[in-house]
Amino acid sequence: MEGFAWFTHKYIMHGIMWRWHESHHVHHKHWWERNDWFGIIFGITATVLIIVGSEVPAWRFLMWIGFGISLYGVAYFIFHDIIVHRRIKVRYSPRSAYMKRIMKAHYIHHKVHERDGAEAFGFLYAPKKYEAKPLNKAKSAETA
């Protein structure tokens, strides 16, 4: 799912569907973003796949794809909407290197408010380049 989400985010949301996704890259005061339609579309798609896959034995694999989309959607909602963007107010301070890296990558992605020029299109994975660099104590001692 992460590969599909990365592709969709980079080439669909920052491509032909930018008019919807743009609402997520600009500051606003409402609880609803046009970008939220993507979640509704993915939810309907997952529901249809689960129903069809559970009703047609030869297409059972569609049910599991639907469950995968649903589980990814829940993880995305918790991470992206609650933890990163605080659309539901919770107190959270990242402690793990993974959470710090993925949150940093997402904040870097949002520095760009335009369709082009953004980086870090993943949701639950971020390359190591977004990791916080540890202080080099030897260098710090030399400059002091």
Quick one: three-class SS letters along the chain? CHHHHHHHHHHHHHHHCHHHHHHHHCCCCCCCCCCHHHHHHHHHHHHHHHHHHHHCHHHHHHHHHHHHHHHHHHHHHHHHHHHHCCCCCCCCCCCCHHHHHHHHHHHHHCCCCCCCCCCCCCCCCCCHHHCCCCCCHHHHHHHC
Residue 59 to residue 18: CA distance in whole angstroms: 33
The pLDDT of residue 73: 92
The pLDDT of residue 140: 47
Note the pLDDT tens digit of each residue in 21-65.
888 888 778 788 898 999 999 999 999 999 999 999 999 999 999
Note the pLDDT tens digit of each residue in 109-130.
888 777 787 787 888 888 888 8
Short-list 29, 25, 36, CA closest to 114? 25
The pLDDT of residue 63: 98
pLDDT band at 137 (very low <50, low <70, confident <90, very high): low
For residue 64, what are its two tokens?
A: 């599991």
* pLDDT mean across residues, the chain: 85
Count of structural domains, the chain: 1
The pLDDT of residue 70: 96
Q: Which structural domain range is residue 14 located in?
A: 2-143
Q: What is the mean pLDDT of residues 96-110?
A: 86
Q: What is the mean pLDDT of residues 62-91?
A: 90
